[in-house]
Structure 1
């Protein structure tokens, strides 16, 4: 393993497919990869699409969009406009509870590159782009793998790596295409489809964009054939999937390959994880399940839907017993608010207001109705799915931890300890600070920085969240500092 690349533990329940060889090697170089998986067959465009349709191969990044339908759209746009498509591997994985794509790229990168390479050849692609988060393991591992393949002359289509800012919304398809095109990694404010090309595609070309695991699954499908691929899983959702299981107590997460439909309780048990007070499935755009529900829930799209949740990016995190659930919800909601790019109202106001309402409820001065009202303001109205996903995370938490919500309302707390069991990146950036000895409750700051501050019943400022100031909030913060008559606000330098 190259210096600087972290090694995530990989386990499996059932056959080893994506995880094949990882019990013997920390990283499968090209030679080890081909000994493990065999040579990559060549396949025609028609045969590749037929395989994907037969097993209903879906995207593994969260949206679960059918691969074949997305590919057909890009190829139709290619025929209309005469421009060869661009294929993109979305390996940004800005979801803190998920490390499955990073694990693929660091430990078995050639499986991902095999999938996109065979599709590029079959579809006559102009180029392949592998998008990784700046500072992530993929920034080192992907170029190393591409060098190995170049020396062995494995790929027919030019392939390059692009690093994008490490933010939660950078992996949204519109934001990612903008970043590959050299622009800011922000979602488009108008509906665009990458497959159609034009302003929605890489260099204006029809663009087929899938996450890293989807491309790896395609490579397995071509090697195994439809019947062999569908030996495991459910009749509706065949094959295996990768699940990130987060473990409390400072233990590193584990990535587990499971047959689609495996019971969540068995997966948790295999990782030595107790369901605790509640289980979050699908990451920070996912939903909370009560322990008794989680244990019998099948890890599949249909299984999670039946339980009232979502599979999403297939990450699992458990809230340990004795930890304040509302405190954890507030901490993550504040981070999600700061991760927005602030270009539409549902993110600029709705997310901070949701975090502030949660914080008030945690202190015992708010109500769940206020949280629900704030979360509902942005649902279905954002430029991307960030407001909707955040609302799902928050509102499912209010339901799963209803007893604790009541305790905070009635007693100002639940008696449980604050915790940091849900993974978040180390805070970065600056925060507004307030010198209370100077503050005279003029209230001007809240009008100058409404996304950052509100006023309590006595006119004193209250920070909406304790998260660092997002880039789009900096101008408001500077205005509030400059406009404070009492010079009570401070904005330390980063």
Structure 2
């Protein structure tokens, strides 16, 4: 839709190698930091990972923290985590050099020690970036003029919170990839404790285009307040799910029409921390930060999920709420204990046995009470579903169902199963102290005599369960693993680039992803 910029050349090539990329975009010339900050300010460039933070302010913050002659790092956040997004994986797989151009441009201007590209859950994306780095090294060996800023590729574990800034920095530093208890600004202390410019994959690609075009040409498309194009991942009930590029200011209805998608009962915008739009609102909503704000949503990372009319909306929301509860890092009590309660309340509502008030009470417990935005984002998704599906909720409460099956339209990851666990007790030792129920209140109940009964413990709670075993005063507990071998698909995964697994398909085969044409649609 509109001129291809981020996707230029992809209607002819499955992957742009270095020669093809240089033919399209030329060689990036180093720029002065002040000039780059001025460029970013002139077009009000914002991050494309969801938070929409001004990129110029990030550049200035890292420069100020680095001081004269200090080290810093440029970090590319390619850890999408969000099951309904594939734009970053698409860029890293098919157009990695554009991303690297933007990162290297920033690194040279800041005098950075290195560029780090973090990817999660996609062997093909990781291999594509590694190949791109090798292509640049080989070009320099042959007398080329590629930047010699070191580029390091780091693969991290894929989970919903992988892309949270603090979690990403910890993972790159070799620690557990969960948000830190105390927030740290990456611009002050990030990779290896150094000031770090942390931004999303698409942001760096857009930055490269801004330097190539200059602010005036860059702003020739899009709206005056938000110039340029944007990548959207359209999935769910769309007949032609794809990653597409469109100028800001495009009608959401036109995007849905291109992907042969009917809004049905609603359109989810912004992903699983986003909000639902009614079909009526979606018909007039505009693709931009301002346009989505007027519609009652946030564009976030450019995720568009039309629900269609063949599936149960409330059942779909319950699936996502349960998934998000399982994606908790497990370190903050309100999130670890509260999100499962939220999921149970939504599931009960879908079964016709719960109430809207019970869901709202559960949500109030978790709001604004975590080390990261995961509890608040989950609360936003659930509360939006209550408003969007009011008529369906009434049917469920009256009849136990709306009459439609849950088809798994909302994308979910396909992963290797994590084992579940159970606590086993030596009754000859147990004296009913009740400490295990205090440590694991959501999985242990005490009878009238103070003795425990146990529920199955999910893998993400194994650490807390082992703590209960170690702290049992009577040494009466042991933790046993239940069966958990083999793949455990949850719902219907979105078959885009990050789901390619077979090495024989190589870097250039894009099974399941419609090719992007010059107009941003499918070829």
Give the TM-score range, shorter chain.
0.7 to 0.9
TM-score, normalised to structure 1, is 0.87
So what's the TM-score if we normalise by structure 2?
0.83
User: 1 CA distance for matches of 2:412 and 2:123?
Assistant: 15
Residues 17-45 of structure 1 show CA distances to partners (whole Å, capped at 9, x for unaligned) of 00100011000000111111222232111
Structure 1 residues 479 and 415, CA, compared in 2 at 3 Å: closer, same or farther? Answer: farther
What is the match of residue 409 of structure 1? 397
The aligned counterpart of 1:10 is none
2:199 corresponds to which of 210, 230, 234: 210
C-alpha displacement at 1:454, in angstroms? 7.6
Q: Give 3-state SS (helix, strand or coil) of 2:85's partner.
A: coil
Matches within 5 A, 1:132-281: 132-153=119-140, 154-197=146-189, 201-248=190-237, 253-281=241-269
- Aligned residue runs from structure 1 range 433-472, under 5 A: 449-452=440-443, 469-472=458-461
* Alignment partner, residue 46 of structure 1: 34
Q: Which runs of 5+ in 1 are unaligned?
A: 1-12, 435-441
1:432 to partner: Cα distance: 6.0
Is 2:252–2:286's contact at 8 Å kept on the other side of the alignment? Answer: yes
**Structure showing greater relative contact order (alpha-carbon pairs closer than 8 Å, 6 or more residues apart):** 2
- Is 1:399 equivalent to 2:371 in the alignment? no
1:452–1:97: structure 2 CA closer, same or farther, 3 Å change rule? farther
- Over 3 Å counting, the alpha-carbon distance change for 1:257 and 1:349 in structure 2 is same
Q: Equivalents in 1 of 2:393, 2:454: separation in Å? A: 22
- Counterpart of 1:41 in 2: which secondary structure? coil
What CA RMSD, in Å, does the superposition of the two structures yield over aligned residues?
Answer: 3.1
Q: Runs ≥4 in structure 1, deviation > 2 angstroms?
A: 134-137, 430-434, 444-455, 460-463, 470-480, 489-494
CA distance in 1, matches of 2:94, 2:368: 38
Match of 2:111 among 95, 114, 124: 124
Output the CA distance in 1 between the equivalents of 2:66 and 2:369: 31
**Hey, what does 2:101 align to over in structure 1?**
114
Q: Tell me, yes or no, if structure 1 residue 355 matches structure 2 residue 346.
A: no
**1:75-86 matches, cutoff 5 A:** 75-79=63-67, 82-86=69-73
**Residues in 1 aligned to 2:6 and 2:414: alpha-carbon distance in whole angstroms:** 30
Task: Give, in whole Å, the separation in 1 of the partners of 2:240 and 2:371.
Answer: 34
* Correspondence list, 1:330-341, <5 A: 330-341=318-329
State the partner residue of 1:9. Answer: none
| 1:248/1:421 contact within 8 Å kept | yes
Q: Which consecutive unaligned segments of at least 5 residues does structure 2 have?
A: 141-145, 424-431, 447-451, 486-523
C-alpha distance in 1 between matches for 2:240 and 2:422: 34
TM-aligned CA deviation for residue 234 of structure 1: 0.9
CA contact (8 A) 1:94 1:166 kept: yes
Distance 1:213 1:312, change over 3 A: same
- Residue 339 of structure 2 aligns to a residue in which SS? helix
Q: Which of 291, 298, 303 is 2:279 aligned to?
A: 291
Task: Work out the CA distance in 2 between the residues paired with 1:25 and 1:69.
Answer: 35
Equivalent residues of 1:449, 1:477 under 8 A apart: no
Q: Deviations over 1:425-444 (max 9, x none)?
A: 1252134689xxxxxxx9x9
**Which segment is superposed worse, 253-262 or 50-59?**
253-262
The Cα shift of 1:476 comes to 3.1
Residue 328 of structure 1 is matched in structure 2 by: 316
Structure 1 265/134 Cα, relative in aligned 2: closer, same or farther at 3 Å? closer
In 1, Cα distance between equivalents of 2:484 and 2:21: 48
**How far does residue 417 in structure 1 lie from its aligned partner after superposition?**
1.1
1:303 paired to 2:295: no
Post-superposition offset of 1:169: 0.6
Question: Which segment drifts farther, 95-104 or 71-80?
Answer: 71-80
The answer to whether the 8 Å contact 1:116/1:215 transfers is yes
CA contact (8 A) 2:18 2:136 kept: yes
SS of match in other structure, 2:226: coil
Q: CA deviation at 1:72?
A: 0.6
Answering whether residue 86 of structure 2 is matched by residue 89 of structure 1, we say no
